[in-house]
Amino acid sequence: QHHRNRSPRSSKDENKVVNLLLEAEPERVCAMPDPALPDGDIKALTTLCDLADRELMLNISWAKHLPGFSSLCLSDQMSLLQSAWMEILILRVVFRSLPCEDRLVFADDYVMDAEQAKSAGLLELHLAILQLVRRYRSMGLEREEFVTLKAIALANSDSMHIEDVEAVQVLQDSLHEALLDYESVVHAEDPRRAGKLIMTLPLLRQTSAKAVRHFCSIKQDGRVPMHKLFLELLEAN
Amino acid sequence: KEKHKILHRLLQNSSSPVDL
């Protein structure tokens, strides 16, 4: 069963976990800003919150497809998602934005530059997310690495409410192993690449906390309509 | 758990879990 005991591999296709993660990756979602709303910060934030709510639905269904996630008890599945949901949303935005210079691709039909972010009150967040984009772009982050890192962010979400710590550790280990395995085959020239990827996670955590704080204050403001799942997860933090 | 009923429901309803 253990990969390393097999004969040498020639293609990327043999990493079973990475392949499952590639298959589980959700479709891209369109933002579809409401044409009836007047342009301005409220419209921009309403569009982003609506998009986030729909992405969250997809991400929850994605989590269920991660190898090993469904063996966790329901309460631990919830705890991981309640801690990592914003990291998952942001990492998807970051990956979509890799080909763009200084713009964030929230959706194919919703790309924001610094000017637009500023007028939506999102400049600080925009700059923080761009820092992640630049870091991954300079590494040449691949789709395989992106899906694996996203799964690791979920499994490594450091919730304080995990009941079966050992089971979560098994999930972390299997994803970590998949990343190490992938890098040892595809990037044998850089033995530190897996570590470099893992070392981006603190910035993702920090950026996610910033985003959650910001959207919590928008929620308290009460001027932007938010859907129930997005609200529920904001309240969980 | 009461507070997180949508997440709870979605996790219970999603299809085709994968086990290692």
Which among B11, B15, B16 is the nearest to A74, CB-wise? Answer: B11
Per-residue pLDDT, A2: 45
Asked if pLDDT for residue B17 goes beyond 60, the answer is: no
Q: Give A143's contacts (C-beta < 8 A, 6+ positions apart).
A: A22, A25, A95
CB distance from A19 to chain B under 8 Å?
no
- Does A20 sit within 8 Å of B18, measured CB to CB? yes
Tell me how close the Cα of B9 comes to any Cα of chain A, in angstroms.
10
Query: Average pLDDT, stretch B1-7?
Result: 75
Asked if pLDDT for residue B3 goes beyond 90, the answer is: no
User: Mean pLDDT in each 10-residue stretch from start to end of chain A (237 residues)?
Assistant: 45 80 95 94 97 96 95 97 98 98 96 97 98 98 98 97 98 98 97 98 98 97 96 92
Per-residue pLDDT, A170: 98
CB atoms within 10 A of CB A81: 24
Q: Is A111 helix (H, G, I), strand (E, B) or coil?
A: strand
CB distance from A74 to chain B under 8 Å?
yes
Residues of B with CB under 8 A from a CB of A: 1, 3-8, 10-12, 14-20
Q: How confident is the model at residue B19 (pLDDT cuts 50, 70, 90)?
A: very low
Per-residue pLDDT, A110: 97
Which among A64, A78, A174 is the nearest to B14, CB-wise? Answer: A64
